[in-house]
Amino acid sequence: MTAAGIIADILLGLAALIVVGASVGIVVMPDAYAKLHFVTPATLVAPALVTLAVLVQAGLSENAGESVLALVFLMIGGPFLSHATIRAIRVRETGDWRQPAGGIKPGGEAGQ
Amino acid sequence: MTTGFVIAAIVMLVAMVPAGVVLCRGDLPASLVAYEFVTSVAVMVLALLAQAFRRPAEFELPVLMAMLLFGSGLVFVRTIERWL
């Protein structure tokens, strides 16, 4: 096996490990806010590692270019989507995404 | 065939199963989060398989799916926010 193959395998192993960990986190965490933290590694970090692995394995080729393109779309869309998801869940739970005028008490309820 | 890429794709497919359970059985917000996870992992699986079997033409699929992930995710989010 070449050095490039070994490096690619290490990167792929890391990516797979991150995805498995994120999947466990999504199952274990109690609510959607906490679960959403585990989507980010699978949306940003693991695709970056996969793209690097393709780049190492295939060099500067069409495959690597399209992997980078997919990564760019994920990196642009991921944070917007996470923000929109949090906003939607909050609107669904409280009726509005903004903080109430009286602030939020330590228990999580709106103050007067 | 590049074995490392195939193994990584299989591991990621298996990792989608727990999230799939949350997607099917969780409450609506948790299902939405699990959906976002599953689709982003699917993008990687498609890229891995295309590289593993050396089919450059199939690299179009992850690119298209990454684009559609953003649009479809926003549609789901807006639907949950407004109507469900």
A10-68 pLDDT per residue, tens: 999 999 999 999 999 999 998 888 999 999 898 889 989 998 888 888 888 887 888 88
Burial class (CB in 10 A: 0-12, 13-18, 19+), B1: exposed
Contacts of B34 in chain A (CB under 8 A): 26, 35
In a domain, A109, yes or no: no
Check pLDDT > 80 for residue A107: no
In a domain, A38, yes or no: yes
Q: What is this model's ipTM? A: 0.88
How many CB atoms are located within 10 Å of the residue B59 CB?
Answer: 23
Does pLDDT of A109 surpass 80? no
B residues 25..54 contacting A (CB < 8 A): 27-30, 32-34, 36-37, 40-41, 43-44, 47-48, 50-51
Count: domains in chain A: 1
Range of the domain at A20: 3-94
Q: Which of B24, B37, B76 to mutate to test the interface with A (most CBs of A within 10 A)?
A: B37
Count of the separate structural domains present in chain B: 1
A36 φ/ψ sector (left φ>0, alpha ψ -120 to 50, else beta): alpha
